Every structure is written in C-alpha cells, then in structure tokens.
C-alpha cells in the first residue's frame, strides 16, 4: 500500500513522523537543520555547538503547544506589509550545559516548517525522476 505524504499523515504522530523523515535523510540538505549552531547557557555563559538535525534523528526533542501567531509579509502588489494568522507547533530541544549542568532550551523550528520542508523536498525529488 502506497503511503500518501500529506499533512494528515504527518499529524497522526508528528514526533514519530519527524524522526522517521530525519532518519530517511529528508532534512539533510536544509542548512538550518544540518549546520552547527551555538547555544549559550544563561546560568554560566558557556557555549556549546549543536546540530538540530542530530536531535531530530535521535528523537531528543518535544513538541510544544500549538498556538496562533501573527505573521507579517511583504505584499507583492502593495508597498507595505500584510499580516496573517498562522498556526505553529514549536519543536523544543533541550541541551544540558557541559559546564554547569543547567538545561538550555531552544525552539529552532516548528512542525509546520518541517512539513513544508519535507513536502518541498519530495516535489523536487519527483521533478527530476
């Protein structure tokens, strides 16, 4: 049975689906996820380098509460900004400071961003087959 890669499939168990897609290398070409970033401990000021993709592949993240946010964007026909409301579900990565042990949390992306990225990659892959 062929699985459909739509948002309904992604929503059944989003964390499991993110882990599976990360392990299948769907996000490997995404520079935000595949490059190292520095996180700073608020307690001691120590910095650590992490790669978000490693956390996605290992499942070391949590899903935050879905919320509505206002997004501004440039409208192509008007010389001003337009606004819209979008739903986001943040991914929360927790890192333990190597120096003092304090937990450092960050939310680099949302489930919706990963869904967009995964479907974009699939469309690109299918275009070159």
**Does 36 fall in a domain?**
yes
**Does 12 fall in a domain?**
yes
**Does 56 fall in a domain?**
yes
Domain count, the chain: 1
Residue 105 belongs to domain spanning: 7-60+89-127
Which pLDDT tens digits describe the chain residue by residue (129 residues)?
344 444 444 557 899 999 999 999 999 999 999 999 999 999 999 999 999 999 999 999 999 999 999 988 776 766 677 888 999 999 999 999 999 999 999 999 999 999 888 887 655 555 455
3-state secondary structure string, the chain?
CCCCCCHHHHHHCHHHHHHHHHHCCCCCCCHHHHCEEEEECCCCCCEEEEEHHHHHHHCCCEECCCEEEEEEEECCCCCCEEEEEEEECEEEEEEECCCCCCEEEECCCEHHHHHHHHHHHHHHHHHCC
pLDDT at residue 9, rounded to an integer? 47
**Does 37 fall in a domain?**
yes
């Amino acid at each position: 049975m062929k699985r459909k890669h739509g948002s309904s499939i992604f929503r059944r168990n989003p964390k499991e689906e993110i882990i599976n897609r990360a392990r299948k290398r769907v996000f490997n070409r995404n520079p935000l996820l595949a490059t190292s970033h520095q996180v700073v401990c608020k307690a001691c000021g120590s910095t650590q380098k992490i790669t978000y993709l490693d956390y996605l592949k290992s499942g070391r993240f949590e899903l935050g509460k879905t919320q509505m946010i206002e997004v501004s964007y440039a409208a192509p026909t008007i010389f001003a900004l337009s606004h819209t409301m979008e739903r986001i579900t943040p991914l929360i990565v927790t890192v333990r400071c190597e120096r003092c042990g304090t937990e450092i949390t960050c939310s680099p992306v949302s489930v919706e961003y990963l869904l967009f990225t995964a479907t974009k990659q699939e469309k690109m892959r299918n275009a070159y087959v």
